[in-house]
Chain A
């Protein structure tokens, strides 16, 4: 019983700030600034309507979704063979290489903001979704390798050996037998890549100006002009929570194992 109460309290505390934002997004600005109410007394959809009618807003949303999708695909695809190598073989320098990869996961994005700006300007990708997608690979590729390696190590090596004896070539074995076996792990890795690319702001805003501006960078516009447009800001914030909530639903059965990086 105490367990349920503790859990319920914890979930309540988690939900409260989110609830407040959702609540605010349905109020008009007069109501927001004049009264503290637990539900909108004059519910309005004006803020959402504004976002869906302004190309700068929904364009930003599409930009964000496209670099996140690109990044997720790139990260998982190039991490798969590497994770297989790390989980199945020992080779010269494997431990050092693995640590070097992980160290990129731990590198502060603030350190990379300035050099990335130079790098992507030099190769002509600045202010495109590709720049952000590639920049986020800095931490998502090592993360994907780490997660996939954990899940792959849970698959017994006898399966590889049996397949080889049965005359499967390596690519055929890998895609026909092995990939389906670690489908959960791939799902979890893709989920984490999505998540970290979706939530990261510093690099995404540094590497874009106009054309590829992410949604959250558009949000800073509400700070200007006639003071704060709190309602609009809240509505935009609520919209940013939706993709994450949708994606997590697909991995709900593996989420605990996923957070343990497949290592339980």
Chain B
């Protein structure tokens, strides 16, 4: 890793990717920047508006600022909850997958299946599954005397969205961890057995250190994906009841495509993107540092 030759001719190999990303990322971003500093009188007549949209956005007293800060807190809470459930559960499941045998392939494929379903079908599956009249889960909960209603009760809506996300993505954490576990040589386990190590100390001293790298990737991917979740809750709850499950992306789409409020939407897009970028940078630095330490 560390002794790669330095060659600026390698840039030629990167040019196609650069051109592509410039087209599909930088140009759209400039459009957003443009909207964020202008106001419109309608019919494509724009005038300079300075930082007013941003001032509104950061002031929780305004309508848009309040919405944004509530959606941000809600989304961070959601990401935290799903990470706290999915990471330990994923590790647990990974430890349970057999390392070899005929069943491994079948188990891995069936685990990955939820991830290959289009996101609004995932939403549809859970919308149906959680309905008290025709869904198994909803009917079972109502039958057990637990009041459950996605469209009226915020707690029901929240638990459905969280359970749906756990159902959808825990397998990814598990598959990542499984790949990490498989990379541990058998000799490590034999040595542990000779030392008389118990199950917990094998996990703590052999497996967990090996998992650190894949866990960083897992946390990074899961955090980002949950931080920009849109389609699944849009189908199941539509952000409701009220604005109970209205996460950042849902709110942004409502403002940008629903109300066509370009100035507010653009300012919100930029700040939203900047937050993800910062968090992404933190994770990325952690990851490269782990890489460097691993290969040193």
A237 touches B113 (CB 8 A): no
Tell which of B124, B178, B257 touches A113, judged by Cβ atoms closer than 8 Å.
B257
Residue of B whose beta carbon sits closest to that of A81: B13
B70 within 8 A of A: no
Q: How far is the CA of A134 from the CA of B231 in the complex (A)?
A: 20
Residues in B with CB closer than 8 Å to A134 are 23-24
Residues in A with CB closer than 8 Å to B27 are 115, 119
Tell which of A14, A95, A101, A105 touches B111, judged by Cβ atoms closer than 8 Å.
A14
B200 within 8 A of A: no
A49 within 8 A of B: no
A36 touches B284 (CB 8 A): no
Q: How many residues of B contact A (CB 8 A)?
A: 94
B42 within 8 A of A: no
Q: How far is the CA of A238 from the CA of B46 in the complex (A)?
A: 47
Residues in A with CB closer than 8 Å to B113 are 14, 18, 241, 244-245, 248
B120 within 8 A of A: yes
Residues in B with CB closer than 8 Å to A109 are 228, 230, 249
Residues 7-66 of B contacting A (Cβ, < 8 Å): 7-11, 13-14, 16-18, 20-21, 23-25, 27-29, 31-32
Q: How far is the CA of A22 from the CA of B97 in the complex (A)?
A: 26
Kindly provide the distance from the CB of B95 to the nearest chain A CB, expressed in whole angstroms: 7
Residues 135-176 of A contacting B (Cβ, < 8 Å): 135, 137-138, 141-142, 145, 153
Tell which of A85, A90, A198, A237 touches B124, judged by Cβ atoms closer than 8 Å.
A237
A7 touches B4 (CB 8 A): no
Residues in B with CB closer than 8 Å to A6 are 92-93, 96
B25 touches A138 (CB 8 A): yes
Residue of B whose beta carbon sits closest to that of A23: B136
Tell which of A7, A18, A202, A264 touches B231, judged by Cβ atoms closer than 8 Å.
A202
B176 touches A259 (CB 8 A): yes
B95 touches A3 (CB 8 A): yes
B124 touches A233 (CB 8 A): yes
From known contacts A78-B16, A108-B276, infer whether A264 and B125 are also in contact, taking CB-CB under 8 Å. no
A33 within 8 A of B: yes
Residues 81-131 of A contacting B (Cβ, < 8 Å): 81-82, 84-86, 88-92, 94-95, 97, 99-116, 118-119
From known contacts A20-B136, A106-B280, A260-B217, infer whether A252 and B32 are also in contact, taking CB-CB under 8 Å. no
From known contacts A20-B136, A111-B272, A261-B217, infer whether A15 and B110 are also in contact, taking CB-CB under 8 Å. yes
7 more A-B contacts (CB under 8 A) besides A32-B134, A111-B252? Answer: A14-B167, A89-B5, A89-B7, A106-B276, A111-B272, A114-B269, A256-B176
Provide a sorted-by-A list of 30 A–B residue pairs whose CB atoms are within 8 angstroms.
A17-B126, A17-B136, A18-B113, A21-B128, A24-B128, A78-B17, A82-B16, A85-B13, A89-B7, A91-B7, A91-B11, A107-B228, A108-B228, A108-B249, A108-B252, A108-B272, A110-B228, A110-B256, A114-B262, A135-B24, A138-B21, A216-B120, A219-B121, A237-B117, A247-B116, A248-B112, A256-B182, A260-B176, A260-B179, A263-B213
